[in-house]
Structure 1
Amino acid sequence: MSGAWTTGWGFPLSVDARGRVALHSGCGAVDAALAVLIGTVAGERPMRPDFGIRLDWTTEELPDRIRELVETFEPRIDVSRVELVDSASIGYAPATRYLRGMAVVRIGYVLRSTGERWHFEGSFEWIE
């Protein structure tokens, strides 16, 4: 597989020293895509209504649902594990959970093009 397949714009969008759009490749590109995926609420994008986290998922089903979501929308990787992390144990303030649930997810994956192993960690809010 070509390296161009794993290269893309980063999130948030930025420019490099020459004023061009900064590109991310490999695991950096995948991490940027995963951040957008879990930071989006399903239905938020009218042309892709299934893209993103559904607010009606329960804590128990989150890991399996997130695995399905990533396997559907991120073809560059093979997911090895999905786990929820206790947000308090990694320094998230309890105030961020006011009236909503805070989920921190860790997604282990293998980049298909290179076989590189990596993990993504990100957070999102959902109503439990």
Structure 2
Amino acid sequence: MSDDTREFLGIGWKFPLQVTAGGGIARSRYEQRIEESIYLILSTAKGERVMLDDFGCGIQDLVFAPNNAVTRARVVQNVRKALTTYEPRIDVLDVSADSQPNQDNLLLIRVSYRIRSNNAIGNMVYPFYIQEAA
């Protein structure tokens, strides 16, 4: 696929911010940029950004919620709504949140998405800790 058809995906500063060996700011391109954007949306609490008060996911409000089906359903709902609202370059295909047998405080949020400009399928797993570690 040529770079001309991928320009819509964007080029920008790498997240988290990194400095290159030459002293410049590291940049990310195309599909990597979208994955970083999804990570940023999920990591941002609502109200955290002064000028964009509603930006973010809202799962941080559930950090002390019990690890049960209701909490997992709320996490899935919040993630789907945030990605649909704040990442226009993708179609959200599936979101799930699964708890781990040996780690009661860890939810693995799985996101599957399609990039609209080229129909490429992407997925990522975002770890979210819902309670203080024992």
TM tier, smaller: 0.7 to 0.9
Q: Which of 84, 97, 102 is equivalent to 1:84?
A: 97
Larger Rg: 2
1:62 corresponds in structure 2 to 75
User: Within 2, Cα distance between the matches of 1:6 and 1:22?
Assistant: 14
Distance 1:103 1:49, change over 3 A: farther
Contact preservation (8 Å) 1:38, 1:124: no
Equivalent residue in structure 2 for 1:94, among 103, 110, 121: 103
Q: Which residue of 2 aligns with 1:8?
A: 12
Measured in 1, the distance between the counterparts of 2:8 and 2:25 equals: 15
- The residue type equivalent to 1:94 in the other structure is Q
Aligned alpha-carbon RMSD (Å): 2.5
* TM-score of the two chains, using structure 1 as the length reference: 0.76
Question: What is the aligned length?
Answer: 118
Quote the Cα distance in structure 1 between the aligned partners of 2:127 and 2:54. 19
Paired-residue identity, %: 27
1:29 aligns with 2:41: no
Deviations 1:41-73 (A, max 9, x none): 111112222222321583222212211110100
2:23 paired with 1:19: yes
Unaligned 5+ runs, structure 2 = 66-70
Partner residue of 1:123 out of 113, 123, 127:
127
Structure-1 separation of matches of 2:130 and 2:85: 21
The 5-angstrom pairing of residues 40-55 of structure 1 reads 40-54=44-58, 55=61
For 1:73, give the aligned amino acid: Y
1:111 equivalent in alignment to 2:124: no
Give the secondary structure class of the aligned counterpart of 1:41: coil
